[in-house]
Structure 1
Amino acid sequence: MAAVKEDAGGRGGGFEGEMEVEAYRRLFPLPYYERHLLESVRPDARPLSSARDTSIAVGAVSSADGSALVKTGETTMLAAIKLEVMSPSQDSPDEGSLAIDFHMPPICSPTVRPGRPAELAPVLSKQLSDVISRSKMIHLKELSLVSGKAAWMAYLDIYCLNADGSLFDVALLSAVAALAHLHIPLVSLNDEGRIIAVSGDPSRKTTREVVNKDKRKLSLNSVPFSLTCLLHKDYILADPTAEEESIMDTPVTVVLDSLDCLVSLYKPGGAALALTSSLKECVSLTRRRVQELRSILDEALQSTEMDED
């Protein structure tokens, strides 16, 4: 930082020095960052390979069947799931369905204008749907109620409350946490043969049959986690902020599952990659990040289970 202050105007410190550093940062953002990169550190004091602190709070929306509030740095996502009974398709009579929508309201970023949908929202919606489907994290048969007649339709909505970089990573983590927290309601067949929700003790109801007496939560397998890295010259920056993403344009997002299998690799833009060593390093950083996120998620779920007991 001292080198930056010297370039900015020569004054060593104080309020004027801080103002000059901020002015230099705004006028010349890339040189400002590159001076930090020379010392293998970022302006927020993070090492290049380190992600920001992450927190998960499951059950954040009491009216939802499953929900989670996830924060990585200043990037914040709220995921909520609502279940509705539907008729399954003829092609998959023993399966339910999962629909994912990603939302970016104007409050999340100055770049999102009121009255106009964010261009990134449908892109991330499809990317999230593809990753969750490809990872086979959930078995849609667990959402079946009566073969060929009734199944659960799970609507997973993810709201970006603050967009400060690595949106896909935080959105995916919030989706995973909400699905892990999902409580499948008890339902039964009434005397007219309709599926209705059961509240309280199902044995006291005058319904004909409890359909899903033993199902309470989904069985999650090969859970996907991701890490976005920025490649700039010979540097690799893990978990970039929005400012870093705006000035360095070669992002790579690696998705690994909890079994250490590669689910997907995204490179939406930037320069062509010729060095496989850079991709290998991104995968290695993602592998380490997966271990961190699994521990954070397990701790959040265990804490919620203890509160419910």
Structure 2
Amino acid sequence: LPPPASNEMMDPRWRPTVNEREFIEQALQSDLRVDGRRPFDFRKLKIAFGREDGSAEVELGETRVMGYVTAQLVQPYKDRPNEGTLAIFTEFSPMADPAFEPGRPGEAAIELGRVIDRGLRESRAVDMESLCVVAGKHVWSVRVDLHVLDNEGNLIDAANIAALAALSTFRRPECTVGGDDGQQVTVHDSEVRDPLPLTIHHLPIAVTFAYFGDGNIMVLSIQHTRKKLLWEEG
């Protein structure tokens, strides 16, 4: 995935002093990080799936992001009559980080949504053509809402996994096409016909790297807390 416009947007609180920076770089030269991890150790990962299809909560270290997926029938874009749509929306709450302001999404929330959206679109993770019901008239528009519950760094990685987890469990209503013109769409209730999962080709995982010193020290998955966090599959 391409890097965001500014890493500081993702965590505006992170302003290391000169002494802190020197201490971190000296520790990294000894192949050790301030939280006890090695340079390429990932954060502890936990994924909790909700009772409803298309909902998931991700904990990456102490950062928590909840993803929720919905869908509705819309008219497709004229230049893509056979494809559905996928949109990412993010919400930053002051409860997650005092630096987040209430109200309209700030620059950080917009940038985070763009990075996640671009990663899913350019990798063609979701089959857009499978979302087409009637070419040129009715397609499914899938919406992913990402709610940042606790910001302790690595928002891109956590939000990316939350979006993928929610999309993987989402089920859209099944629909049939009929009528005199063969273009009338009937959306069936889940009690009548089982909802259908999305067609997902692969799961593109975002991984954040940082460079220290003269650029010769590379670290996986930035961590701003001081607690020891080890890799664990969710």
TM class, shorter-chain normalised? 0.7 to 0.9
CA distance in 1, matches of 2:115, 2:21: 29
| Cα distance, 1:125–1:221 mapped onto 2, change above 3 Å | same
Pick aligned residue for 2:220 from 227, 238, 258: 238
Residue matched to 2:200: 220
| Cα distance, 1:86–1:61 mapped onto 2, change above 3 Å | farther
CA distance in 1, matches of 2:24, 2:70: 43
Pick aligned residue for 1:70 from 45, 52, 58: 58
| Cα distance, 1:138–1:106 mapped onto 2, change above 3 Å | same
Shift of 1:27: 8.8
Residue matched to 2:99: 111
Pick aligned residue for 1:53 from 44, 59, 62: 44
| Cα distance, 1:197–1:43 mapped onto 2, change above 3 Å | same
Q: Identify the structure with the greater helix proportion.
A: 1
Contact 1:99/1:154, CA 8 A, preserved across alignment? yes
Aligned pairs for 1:146-161 within 5 A: 146-161=134-149
SS of the aligned residue for 2:32 comes to coil
CA distance in 2, matches of 1:223, 1:239: 18
Shift of 1:43: 2.2
Contact 1:96/1:141, CA 8 A, preserved across alignment? yes
SS of the aligned residue for 1:30 comes to helix
Shift of 1:35: 4.3
CA distance in 1, matches of 2:69, 2:170: 7
CA distance in 2, matches of 1:117, 1:90: 29
CA distance in 1, matches of 2:141, 2:34: 45
CA distance in 2, matches of 1:26, 1:130: 34
Pick aligned residue for 1:44 from 20, 35, 43: 35
SS of the aligned residue for 2:24 comes to helix
TM-score (norm 1): 0.61
Residue matched to 2:6: none
Contact 1:106/1:114, CA 8 A, preserved across alignment? yes
CA distance in 2, matches of 1:108, 1:183: 29
Residue matched to 1:276: none
CA RMSD in angstroms comes to: 2.8
Return 5+ residue gaps in structure 1 as ranges.
Answer: 1-24, 203-212, 245-291, 301-309
Return 5+ residue gaps in structure 2 as ranges.
Answer: 1-15
Which has the greater radius of gyration?
Answer: 1
Residue matched to 2:3: none
| Cα distance, 1:220–1:194 mapped onto 2, change above 3 Å | closer
* Residue identity (%): 26
| Cα distance, 1:32–1:116 mapped onto 2, change above 3 Å | farther
| Cα distance, 1:242–1:103 mapped onto 2, change above 3 Å | farther
SS of the aligned residue for 2:113 comes to helix
Per-residue CA shift, 1:3-51, capped at 9, x if unaligned?
xxxxxxxxxxxxxxxxxxxxxx989422332343343222221111111
Aligned pairs for 1:249-268 within 5 A: none
TM-score (norm 2): 0.78
Greater RCO, CA 8 A, separation 6+: 2
Number of aligned residues: 210
CA distance in 1, matches of 2:178, 2:134: 13
